[in-house]
Amino acid sequence: MVPLALLTTLVLCLANAWTSNGQGPEPGQIKTIVTFGDSYTDVRYGHAGDNGTAWPVYVADYANLTLYPFAIAGATCSNNLTYRPFSSVMEGQVPLYIQEKDNGSISVDPSSTIYTLWIGTNDVGANAVLTGGQTPGVTIVNTTRCAVDWVNVMYQNGARNFIFQSMLPLQDTVMYSADSYPNGYWTAQRNTTEWNLVMAEFTNAVNALALAWLEALAPSLSGAHLGYFDSYGLFADMYANPGNYLNGTAPLNITGCIKSCIFQVNESTSGSSDCTIAEGTAQDSFLWYDEVHPSEQSDRVVAREIAAAIVRNSSDWMTWII
């Protein structure tokens, strides 16, 4: 695991790496969106983390785009770095995209197609880097480099328009909060305060590294457009100002979740859970669906901002590097 002091230094050194907006695609240029990632983005396999409609479906609707989804729940950037028994971005999703493009299963025009990646939650979290479940020697530096390399790999395969989505502030999810509880994602004992602090270090360091590397990569991407979507900043603002984003019929809730399952584990049982589930329009009052996933209302906000950036209306959370 990378020492916290080193992560803090990386963040401080790279914090000023932000660029002013570049050109970006022209209004009306983008007709198709191709998505990669994990459960936050899963449409193709029906395991949307918000238990409803995932944000890419809303983007396609809001911006009148054709959607080709390749993200899958449980994925990491590379199973060679942080193994999970799911189709990772680099070993599974990208090869599948190339196969379907080459055999005509999907039809994409590079000039009017935008490619998105939102990855990292499974790479840095429980059962991966946070708890030592990664390949020996792998750190968040490696997992971040993998995500940035996705841009270059896709560029070499003809892609020209990219959106790279930063990690959200996972320390604000129920799973990694200081007041967390045993849940379906982690039932063993843990120091929740330590996890909260480490996750804040991880997410900030990953995002700073990614942005710096993307800026360094940009000059080699002739004829391309590369956007950096600040998911971290957007969710931090939703957390700080929920009244601007959440609109359900229950009191606004940023620290709990729609589906909260508290697990009880002891020697006499393999485990049981006590779940509380908000229903109907009350769900739109929550920032989180469960202990680690955004709610569908949060995903609508993500989609609204990404769609606005794609059609080149104003978006506070997108910076076009080139």
Q: What is the CATH number of the domain that holds 132?
A: 3.40.50.1110
Is 291 domain-assigned?
no
Three-class DSSP category at 286:
strand
Is 238 domain-assigned?
no
Q: Tell me which residue of 119, 121, 62, 70 sits closest to 300, measured CA to CA.
A: 62
Is 107 domain-assigned?
yes
Is 97 domain-assigned?
yes
| 89 secondary structure, DSSP code | I
Q: What is the pTM of this model?
A: 0.92
| Single-letter code of the amino acid located at 64 | N
Is 176 domain-assigned?
yes
Is 106 domain-assigned?
yes
pLDDT tens-place values along the chain, 322 residues long: 445 555 444 444 444 443 445 689 999 999 999 999 999 999 999 999 999 999 999 999 999 999 999 999 999 999 999 999 999 999 999 999 999 999 999 999 999 999 999 999 999 999 999 999 999 999 999 999 999 999 999 999 999 999 999 999 999 999 999 999 999 999 999 999 999 999 999 999 999 999 999 999 999 999 999 999 999 999 999 999 999 999 999 999 999 999 999 998 765 445 678 999 999 999 999 999 999 999 999 999 999 999 999 999 888 999 999 9
Is 278 domain-assigned?
no
Domain count within the chain: 1
Question: Is residue 289 a contact partner of residue 261, using CB atoms and an 8 Å limit?
Answer: no
Q: Containing domain of residue 94, as a range?
A: 4-16+25-231+296-314
**Cα distance between residue 72 and residue 320, in whole Å:** 26
Q: Tell me which residue of 27, 49, 29 sits closest to 38, measured CA to CA.
A: 49
Alpha-helical (H) ranges within 104-174 are 121-124, 140-156
Question: Rounded to whole angstroms, what are the CA distances from 52 to 58, 293, 295, 299, 301?
Answer: 11, 11, 8, 10, 14
